[in-house]
Amino acid sequence: MGLLKDKKLISLREIEGPASPHQRQVEMALKTKQEALEYVADVSGLAGFIGGRVESLGMGEDWALSKEIYPGVEAFFVFNRADTEFASSLKLLFGGENIKLVRGEELAGFAILYVSHMLRYVKETNRDKALPEVCYRV
């Protein structure tokens, strides 16, 4: 398990600028999918399924995962379950020394692809449950 606080992580907005169209695209895509991630019972199982690894931010997150896109280009997913005050939230960050080589559009595409694959894991590991509809659309 890695410790994320020692890594420099940035969002698409920092890569593309404050008017990043892909940040909005990702936020919209994640919004419909994040609720399904409440059904993840085994984070290391999820990490294995997507070929990533469990990380620790040390910031009270319920779980965090990273996945290498290319050498020097990594996506980080930071999840907090819903509680009585807040809805569930999935934050997307990027890191690595080659991150600036890759276009925001492509990073957004990879991130959405990875989250879709996470939903396939949710579907695979919760066959007996009625899941959010988005799980059956990936």
Partner 1 sequence: MAPRSKNNHYKILIGLAEIEGAVSFHQREIDRALKPRLKALEYVAEASKLAEFIGGRVESLGLREDWTIAKSIFPGVEIFFVFNRANGETPPSLKVLYSGDRIKMMKGDDLARVALVCINQMLRFVKATNPGKHLPDICHKV
Provide CB contacts within 8 A for 62, sequence distance 6+: 79, 80, 81
Q: Which is nearer to partner 1, 18 or 71 (CB)?
A: 71
Q: Token digits for 108?
A: 């957004």
Closest approach of partner 1 to the CB of residue 83, in Å: 30
DSSP bridge partners of 53 = 66
Closest approach of partner 1 to the CB of residue 64, in Å: 18
Provide CB contacts within 8 A for 72, sequence distance 6+: 96, 97, 98, 99, 101
| Residue that the structure tokens 């409440």 belong to | 38
Task: Tell me which residues touch partner 1 (CB under 8 A).
Answer: 48-51, 68-71, 101-103, 106, 109-110, 113, 116-117, 120, 138
Q: Which is nearer to partner 1, 63 or 114 (CB)?
A: 114
Closest approach of partner 1 to the CB of residue 89, in Å: 24
Q: Which is nearer to partner 1, 22 or 57 (CB)?
A: 22
